Amino acid sequence: MSTGTAAALSNMGLTVLSEEEELFRASVREFAEGEVRPRVEHMEKEAKLDADLIKQCFELGLMAIESPEEYGGAGSTIFNAILAIEELARVDASISVFVDVHNTLVTNAFMKWGNDELKKKYLTQMASGKVGAYALSEASSGSDAFALKTKAVDAGDHWLLNGQKLWITNGNEAEIFIVFATIDPEAGYKGITAFIVEKGFEGFSVGKKEDKLGIRASSTTELVFENCKVPKDNVLGEVGKGYKVSIETLNEGRIGIAAQMLGIAQGAYECALRYTAEREQFGQAINNFQVVQFQLAEMAVEIEAARLLTYNAARLKDAGKSFLKEAAIAKLYTSRVAEKVSSKAIELYGGYGYVKDYPVEKFWRDSKIGAIYEGTSNMQLQTIAKLIMGGK
């Protein structure tokens, strides 16, 4: 552990960053401002990520932040991963969640559950140019994740997968998918197994892309498995233990979503600050009025609280300490803050805030998903309640 990282960990829960973290944040912000921002409007209209931008994410190392150096990654921390996710979401939530899912869900699942052969094969590819996706949700299994119906049958020298997945982030761009299926529906969660599916596998196809309210450039698709042949070696973790893979990966993924929501709130807030300094009414800038100042102050307080919660959860994870409750609290709170701050920004813009010529309506649309994916707000409340009651 570097001196800078150790110093940062000693300030656990604070927004104080080490020198190397500050430099990393600055580099991501430069990329977000210089390369992402000019493309946001076009990507939003086309509902598609810019291919050159995806390539740059790999070239800059943003797709392998925590991945070990031996596999082509940076060997860094989840804290740096969430700094990147936050900075990208401050400009565009779609590219942010693209990077987020690849890092906090897919890469981390391989790091924790993959054997040496799988890590060498797939983490290397995911660091150099192949996008990852995480396929758990189905029509009948959202919050009740283990009610999934996609089935895997042992066919001797391979597995056969049949079923359908819905709402899969990075579905169009991904070439490597972690897919959860049951080997025995009667066994409940103990039948769930995680499989690694490549885009070119026989019997696998990507279905329709959803037409969404927000994060429109991020592809959210269905996946279809029709006697999809998966090699026997492509089980991630143990057969029948996929529930552990999903639960533990999603726990970390919630910190990433919190960072995304934090970035959205920060982006909307900065827009509101600029606009209220420029907009004149009654002969002066509207930020001269106390009622506007107080609203901006409230927004700043909420964002700082959200940042503390998010950073604290990441610091705990990097320190090897329990972070489940803190991750749930961070995701719950930041999703509320993102929606609240972006909504208030629209109001401060007045009529201009309600039209697509100005950026704040997009921040609001992008914020809404935070209360839904990777565990709804109600599920976060349930998790928090169980933990504060001693697991009852």
Instruction: Tell which residue, 215, 302, 314, 209, has the closest CA to residue 255.
Output: 314
Instruction: Determine phi and psi for 202, rounding to 5 degrees.
Output: -60, 135
SS3 state of residue 117: helix
Tokens standing for 199? 């885009």
CB 50 within 8 A of CB 32: no
Tokens standing for 73? 């990654």
d(CA 107, CA 129): 13
* CB-based contacts of 363, cutoff 8 Å, min separation 6: 93, 264, 267, 268, 271, 338, 342, 345
For residue 138, the 8-state DSSP code is B
- Residue 65 identity: I
Tokens standing for 358? 């100005």
Instruction: Tell which residue, 229, 242, 234, 239, has the closest CA to residue 160.
Output: 229
d(CA 43, CA 97): 14
* CB-based contacts of 186, cutoff 8 Å, min separation 6: none
Instruction: Tell which residue, 351, 332, 267, has the closest CA to residue 96.
Output: 267
The string of DSSP codes covering 328-343 is: HHHHHHHHHHHHHHHH
- Side-chain half-sphere exposure of 375, counting CA atoms within 13 A: 28
SS3 state of residue 70: helix
Catalytic residue among 87, 138, 326, 374: 374
Instruction: Determine phi and psi for 164, rounding to 5 degrees.
Output: -145, 140
Q: Please say if 19 is a catalytic residue.
A: no
Q: Is 144 left (phi over 0), alpha (psi -120 to 50) or beta?
A: beta
- Residue 188 identity: G
Q: Cite the active site residues.
A: 374
